[in-house]
Structure 1
Amino acid sequence: MSDDLFKSKNQEYQEFLVDLKERIQRAKVRAALAVNSELILLYWQIGRDISQKFSQHKWGAKIIERLAADLKRAHPEWKGFSSRNLRYMRSFAEAWPDEQILQAWPAKITWYHNCTIFDKLIGLRSALNQFIQFSKK
């Protein structure tokens, strides 16, 4: 094979390889985003159901602890069922009661980032309430 023919075929091969690598990477990103969206939907549904049960049955805070323990026992490979996370799920669903919100940004960012934003909003609300109380004096 002449050098020119090899270089030509090698260039074509390299371009083909680059294209395949890029497609694989894009598919991996789309798959991760789809998994994240499903996880956010699951967490929202769990939070909604917990909120409804608390309202209907007047459950106390101890139920969250028990749910967390039972869910961890049933799914030890999942780290997302701590009592703290279950409380986040409940608050998340109560803050956004319409499932349509999941078509927007909350389903497109990670659960960790949703919780971080939620904490910041709660902190801002608390600071605003303190400011309002202070300004009334």
Structure 2
Amino acid sequence: MAVNHQMKTEADNPTLGLLICKDMDKVEAQYALESTSQPLGISSYELSKLIPEEFRGSMPTIEEIEAELNE
């Protein structure tokens, strides 16, 4: 990882990598992780279930965020 090579000091532990995929794509994940020899954890989640109920009305929806990014 670039952070390990450019920013990490002797006092720091190795960084953790995070690969986020919109859809499950085994080929994409395989190529992204092919050269790693580090332990790997795999998980899935639904963002809407992670947002506390009291914040849901004040945060933009995924569609609003995507629309803003596509402008």
Fold similarity call, TM over 0.5: no
Q: Which has the larger radius of gyration?
A: 1
TM-score for the superposition, normalised by structure 2? 0.24
Q: Normalising by structure 1, what TM-score?
A: 0.16
User: Which structure is richer in relative contact order (CA contacts within 8 A, separation 6 or more)?
Assistant: 1
